[in-house]
């Protein structure tokens, strides 16, 4: 069974990266690199030969997830079938790489046996504290109350007949959607029982289907492959799972990782690609905005929680791109910026963001079927309040266009992962190399694609076009 994840996850303070290490499974925990200045804790742009790792799994770590309510708490799942919970203390990064500095590995604060098989994905609940979902090699999703794991999972979501490829909660956490290698998309109410409330056929290919909830739009986005191995993007109604549209992206082989921003923007990053596409979503239409381009292919990617964005610089999203080659590896922060000159807060591009305060605790979540009222934070004032309305914005005052959104990357080298540590392998190298992008006259390496990017008509998918050559020739 092959699991494919994003290899990295981010809180507002730390980044976790699946790490290749000898003697068992591990992952790295690093202070967040930033495109806007010096990294916290004086994190060196070239990491030391030996860094502290989160060790504890007896087999490779497959996925990590940060608590949305505590930026220092992260969960990990691995091939050993265990889930471990870790609490990061900021003093553990004091004195990095200084003389006589001795790295001390992180220790888990909780460990439990979650499956007799592998744990492929872990995901914290977006509104209930201490609730965690895990996808297992038993082809089920288990929902845990981390305060009471001795009694087993509180909910088991079944019906999958093959590997679960991805999962995501809706913004309130009342529903959960999965994609599976059996080509089906399933919608669950974790508090109503273990059977899917909706099941539909997804993408025609069995390889790497991913899913992301598109905020409060009432839509779900999936990426996958057609029978002809074309990469696809599909939009689904979140209530009925009716297919709204399916678009053909290209014919590359890498899995496409989808990410949603409540600015109404959908980001697509292909594994093995150097580019990141982004689209504005409006009234079931996807408008290509631009494309971040790079010659370095990404192995994985994650995005920063919106409450941690640099609103003063009109940064509406920040990605962390993981690259590895035979000679080096990097973690590259990429800021997506609306280039406006304004002294005041730009409310039309910064809707309230999910806050650090949970709406309910685990006991309340599992005991009640009531709607969950989310807690959100105003990115201008920092005040937290209850929100019953949608967070997703209507289109901004000045619509996004291919020349109004740019990507900013650091002018100094990003922190590195080991030279030959092919993520997921069993070896660890202590050799590093580094390179830096060429800065522009403005002091930042800014990539604006308004002059070179030319939006092309997005190709609509149809069943008639998804037929293999043999079928066209009547061989089958």
pLDDT value at residue 448: 28
pLDDT string in tens for the chain (476-residue length): 467 899 999 999 999 999 887 667 899 999 988 888 777 777 777 787 788 899 999 999 999 999 999 999 999 999 999 999 999 998 888 887 777 888 889 999 999 999 999 999 999 999 999 999 999 999 999 999 999 999 999 999 999 999 999 999 999 999 999 999 999 999 999 999 999 999 999 999 888 899 999 999 999 999 999 998 899 999 999 999 999 999 999 888 899 999 999 999 999 999 999 999 999 999 999 999 989 998 889 999 999 999 999 999 999 999 999 998 766 678 999 999 998 887 899 999 999 999 999 999 999 999 998 889 999 999 999 999 988 777 665 455 555 555 556 676 543 333 333 222 222 222 222 222 223 333 332 222 333 222 222 233 333 434 333 433 333 232 22
Which residues make beta-bridge pairs with 268?
A: 258, 277
Q: What is the pTM of this model?
A: 0.84
Tell me how far apart the alpha carbons of residues 434 and 428 are, in angstroms, rounded to a whole number.
17
| C-beta neighbour count of 268 within 10 angstroms | 22
CA-to-CA separations, 425 to 19, 74, 172, 251, 277, in angstroms, rounded: 8, 22, 37, 27, 29
Tell me the two tokens of residue 251: 């014919």
Which residues make beta-bridge pairs with 71?
A: none
Which residues make beta-bridge pairs with 64?
A: 76
Which DSSP state fits 128?
B
Tell me how far apart the alpha carbons of residues 324 and 326 are, in angstroms, rounded to a whole number.
7
The alpha carbon of 442 is separated from its chain's Cα centroid by a whole number of angstroms, namely: 30
Q: Each residue of 320-369: pLDDT tens digit?
A: 999 987 666 789 999 999 988 878 999 999 999 999 999 999 999 999 98
| C-beta neighbour count of 344 within 10 angstroms | 6
State whether the Cα torsion 290-295-318-181 is positive or negative. Answer: positive
Q: Each residue of 221-261: pLDDT tens digit?
A: 999 999 988 999 999 999 999 999 999 998 888 999 999 99
pLDDT value at residue 99: 78
In the sheet that holds 61-66, the strands lie side by side as: 61-66, 73-78, 82-87, 108-113
């Amino acid at each position: 069974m092959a699991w494919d994840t994003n290899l990295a996850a981010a809180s507002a303070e730390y980044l976790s990266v699946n790490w290749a290490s000898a003697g068992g499974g591990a992952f790295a925990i690093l202070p967040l690199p930033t495109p806007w200045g010096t990294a916290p804790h004086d994190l060196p742009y070239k990491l030391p030969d030996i860094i502290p790792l989160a060790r504890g799994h007896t087999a490779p770590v497959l996925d990590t997830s940060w608590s949305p309510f505590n930026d220092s708490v992260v969960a990990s799942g691995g091939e050993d079938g265990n889930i471990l919970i870790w609490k990061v203390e900021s003093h553990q990064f004091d004195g990095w790489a200084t003389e006589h500095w001795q790295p001390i590995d992180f220790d888990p604060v909780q460990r439990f046996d979650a499956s007799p098989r592998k744990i492929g994905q872990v995901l914290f609940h977006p509104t209930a504290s201490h609730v965690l979902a895990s996808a297992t090699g038993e082809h089920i999703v288990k929902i845990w109350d981390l305060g009471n794991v001795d009694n087993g999972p509180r909910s088991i979501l079944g019906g999958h007949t093959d590997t679960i490829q991805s999962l995501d909660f809706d913004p309130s956490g009342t529903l959960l959607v999965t994609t599976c290698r059996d080509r089906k998309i399933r919608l669950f109410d974790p508090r109503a029982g273990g059977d899917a409330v909706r099941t539909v056929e997804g993408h025609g290919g069995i390889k790497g289907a991913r899913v992301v909830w598109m905020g409060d739009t009432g839509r779900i986005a999936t990426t996958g492959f057609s029978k002809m191995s074309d990469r696809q993007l599909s939009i689904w109604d979140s209530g009925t799972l009716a297919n709204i549209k399916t678009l053909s992206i290209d014919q590359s082989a890498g899995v496409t990782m989808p990410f949603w921003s409540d600015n109404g923007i959908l980001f697509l990053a292909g594994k093995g690609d150097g580019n990141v596409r982004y689209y504005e979503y409006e009234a079931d239409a996807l408008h290509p905005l631009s494309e971040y381009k790079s010659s370095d292919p990404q192995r994985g990617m994650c995005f920063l929680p919106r409450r941690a964005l640099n609103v003063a610089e009109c940064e509406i999203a920040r990605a962390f791109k993981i690259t590895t080659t035979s000679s080096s590896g990097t973690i590259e922060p990429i800021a997506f910026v609306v280039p406006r000159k304004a002294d005041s807060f730009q409310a039309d591009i910064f809707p309230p963001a999910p806050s650090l305060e949970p709406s309910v605790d685990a006991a309340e979540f599992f005991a009640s079927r009531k709607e969950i009222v989310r807690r959100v934070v105003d990115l201008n004032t920092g005040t937290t309040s209850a929100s019953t309305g949608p967070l997703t914005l209507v289109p901004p005052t000045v619509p996004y266009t291919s020349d109004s959104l740019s990507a900013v990357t650091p002018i100094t080298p990003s922190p590195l992962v080991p030279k030959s540590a092919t993520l997921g392998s069993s070896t660890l190298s202590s050799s590093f190399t580094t390179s830096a992008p060429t800065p522009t006259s403005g002091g930042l390496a800014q990539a604006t694609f308004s002059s070179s990017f030319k939006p092309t008509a997005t190709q609509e998918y149809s069943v008639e076009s998804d037929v293999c050559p043999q079928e066209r020739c009547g061989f089958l």
